[in-house]
Structure 1
Amino acid sequence: MTTIPGFARTEIPLSDVTLSVQQAGQGAPLILLHGYPQNGLCWGPVAPDLARQFHVIIPDLRGYGKSDAPPDDAAHTVYSKRRMAQDVVDLMDRLGLPSAHVLGHDRGARVSYRLALDHPGRVRRLGIIEIVPTADFWAAWNAELATAAWHWTFLAQPAPFPERMIGADPTGYLDHILKTWSLSGDLSAFAPDALASYRAQMADPARIHAMCADYRAGATTDRRIDLETRAAGRRIAAPLAYLWGEHGFPARTGDPLGIWRNWADKVQGNACTSGHFVMEENPAAVLALFAPFFAADQGPA
């Protein structure tokens, strides 16, 4: 698989999976977590700039890219955001990092906020791109949002129904998602090497299953854990910066910034001109918000 220019890729074994991880730069550690249906290459338009200030660490989440893709379990815990957040903690331990800044997009952002809630001492500053919390997103569903976010229910259907449907034309399925979730309505935002990697993983039956399992967890285990967290009154302690696309999914929820203020005390953020894939569609907006936000805390890990 291609690596972002200037980055080195290594395979790092953890307790039950091996993650493929790209790294570059020096300074305060900054972990970047990708979303669906992508992998760590989605950070290519912004990662080299961030590596001028930070030690940038980009794992492929379990089930994605070149990382391991274990089979799901009946309770949908294997791809729960709690389990995937533990992967990040295990990775930090392997790298000798007591704490780090964390920036996530889409599914990676769900891992990021669960990491901040479950392991508050490990997250210094938290960046979120293009989501609202899982329980809130489900609660916000109406006809418009359900039509736009149809994949949430499709991918969560019992195996192997969505796996078979996607496997019949994986490239056509992937390209449809990338086009329809982008403001341009085409594939122009995606670098050729990154697009090729997204297509390759979508053609792998084990990764199709893993991505469906990711959404099965979102409809069950992740939603339950969110509701339990909120009922317990737990909040995100880390300062939080939030960016969403004017034409993405959170914009359809009404007040996405207000939703995050229900979960964290120190929240800042703004919308930008973009569809869902903000790092590739509007990298300047990502750098403008998050580079100074993370640079405000450049102390040792």
Structure 2
Amino acid sequence: MTLGIPGFEYLRLPGVDDVELNVAVGGSGSPVVLLHGFPETHLMWRHVALRLAAGHTVIVPDLRGYGASDKPRATTEDVYSKRTMAADIVALVAHLGHQEFALAGHDRGALVAFRAGLDHPEAVTQLGILDVVPTLDMWNVLQGLPAAVGFHLFLMAQPAGLPETMIANSSDAFFASFLDTWAKDPAAVPDEVRAEYLRASAGAVDSIVADYRASAGVDVVQDQADLDAGSQLAMPVTVIQQDWGSQLGFDASQVWRAWAPDLDHRLTRAGHFMAEEAPDEIVAALQDLLAR
């Protein structure tokens, strides 16, 4: 790893099943955990983490399979299930001495955070979600031509072999395409950070695909089981999503309210990488969440 969050201490902490995670820790006070999305690393939180560290202990890991964290082989689909990845986070925070913590995630990290909120309500005190809908709902709403924006979801859902080969053979072009098309303000991801994202992603093709493949399999099964059981998120939840207007094709706030009775749903004019494009707005929303 060539870049880091200034002033944060870097540690390798245990998750579950002997997996070690690269974790940046800074600040002091009640703990807040920030989980990154695709195709990024913990660095996507660099602006937000520094601001929150003024009043909180901020814990910013690379998810298993990403960045400088371990990348175990996907010998079963559970290795990269969001349930397993959520258990990693609870374990590493407990290793730091905290039994309760606020949790926010973006994109893939938001799906891990969602699962942590369902599986570990005794640990997660507040939950922040940036620009995603739950896995089960995502597959239900991806229909027709608008689903083309999620082509990568369908590609990485295919059986092992072909997706890994295709992506590895053009990794920079593949991962850069998302950085280029999902940001309304490309300057928010400077060249050195962009290069770090591409380098880290190129070295993690197999595990990234395994993460996505789990979301077309075991993650759907587990979400459906919770839906059938009437499970909901017990803690205050803030969801921040892009303002797509009528282009979205569904009511994202309604989707989230079915899972989160105590919901603050917000729209932003920023692009998908909102923690980098509009950090002040994201910090303000998270601080409001932490006060609930």
TM-score bracket, shorter-length normalisation: over 0.9
Structure 2 gaps, min length 5? none
Q: 1:267 to 1:251 in 2, by over 3 A?
A: farther
Contact map agreement 2:44 2:276 (CA 8 A) in 1: yes
Match of 1:56? Answer: 58
Describe the superposition over 1:35-58 as per-residue Cα deviations: whole angstroms up to 9, x where unpaired.
111110000121111111111000
Q: Distance in 2 between matches of 1:257 and 1:14?
A: 32
Deviation per residue, 1:158-191 (Å, 9 max, x gap): 122111111112111111111111124xx42213
Cα separation, 1, equivalents of 2:265 and 2:247: 13
| 1:240 shift after superposition | 0.3
Deviations 1:43-87 (A, max 9, x none): 01211111111110001000001000001124x111000000000
Q: Give the TM-score normalised by structure 2.
A: 0.95
- Counterpart code for 1:287: V
The structural deviation recorded for 1:253 is 4.7
What code does the residue aligned with 2:80 have?
Y
Displacement of 1:247 in angstroms is 4.4
Say if 1:289 and 1:208 are closer, same or farther in 2 by CA, change over 3 A. Answer: same
What is the distance in 1 between the residues matched to 2:220 and 2:137? 9
Which segment drifts farther, 120-129 or 282-291?
282-291
* 1:17-166 correspondence to structure 2 within 5 Å: 17-74=19-76, 76-166=77-167
Structure 2: distance between partners of 1:32 and 1:94? 16
The answer to whether structure 1 residue 282 and structure 2 residue 278 are counterparts is yes
Q: Distance in 1 between matches of 2:40 and 2:249?
A: 23
C-alpha distance after superposition, 1:197-216 (max 9, x if no partner): 21111221xx1000000110
**Farther-moved stretch of structure 1 (5-14 vs 121-130):** 5-14
Counterpart of 2:199 in structure 1 is 200
d(CA) in 2 for partners of 1:143, 1:189:
31
Give, in whole Å, the separation in 1 of the partners of 2:20 and 2:95.
Answer: 12
Residue aligning to 2:227: 230
Question: Number of residue pairs matched?
Answer: 290
Aligned equivalents of 1:198 and 1:243: distance in 2?
23
Q: Distance in 2 between matches of 1:52 and 1:271?
A: 26
Q: Distance in 1 between matches of 2:230 and 2:101?
A: 24
Deviation of the 1:13 alpha carbon = 2.7
Q: 1:211 corresponds to which residue?
A: 208
The corresponding residue for 2:268 is 272
Q: Which structure 1 residue ranges, 4+ long, deviate > 2 Å from structure 2?
A: 191-194
Structure 2 counterpart of 1:46, one-letter code: V
In 2, Cα distance between equivalents of 1:51 and 1:119: 24
SS of match in other structure, 2:24: strand
Query: What is the Cα deviation at residue 292 of structure 1?
Result: 2.5
